[in-house]
Amino acid sequence: MQVGVKFYTLHHNEKYFPDPCVFKPKRWLASQTPEAQINLMREAFTPFSIGYHGCAGKPMAYLETSLIIAKPLWYFNCKLASGRLWKVGGGTPGRTDGRGRPDEYQLYDIIAGEHDGTYLRFLTSR
Ligand code: HEM
């Protein structure tokens, strides 16, 4: 029997991530969280999946992330846009399907496929 679990579900399990809906990067710091809890979080943290079909680009993604995200954040101060723009991408209050949190950036899974051709040219038959 195969058993699967969605990353979102796992990453929002309070057993592993207390206050799972709160954006709290400091939860990973030893000064903020007991070591046993950090170890639990590490075991459950699987954004790149694991096993046979785990992400082949994980090292590259970490490299890109540290360069492309960390550098600008290090060199510049930034804050969320004011007015209507800060809400873009968030959940809609009142929704009861799990998309009701305005401060949670909403992701949608899409599986798509497309192709063009192959084209055949039929020649005269013998
Ligand atoms: C933050 C960035 C990334 C995340 C969160 C991510 C996450 C994932 C996840 C969850 C899977 C498994 C999909 C599945 O089970 O069907 C996967 C597969 C894969 N990823 Fe990534 N990925 C990232 C970046 C990259 C990059 C930069 C590359 C290539 C340069 C890459 C190449 C691949 C490939 C080739 C697979 C398929 C592995 C296989 O099926 O054997 N990924 N990725």
Q: What is the pTM of this model?
A: 0.79
Q: Residues 98-119: pLDDT tens digits?
A: 899 988 989 888 999 999 999 9
What's the CA-to-centroid distance between 56 and ligand 1, angstroms? 6
Residue from 73, 91, 58, 57 nearest 25 by CA: 73
CA atoms in the 13 A half-sphere facing the CB of 78: 11
**Tens digits of residue pLDDT in 40-75:** 999 999 999 998 899 999 999 999 988 998 888 899
The residues lining ligand 1, judged by C-beta closer than 6 Å to any ligand atom, are 47-49, 53, 55-57, 60-61
Structure tokens at 38: 């950090």
Pocket test for ligand 1, best of 55, 67, 110 (most atoms within 8 A of CB): 55
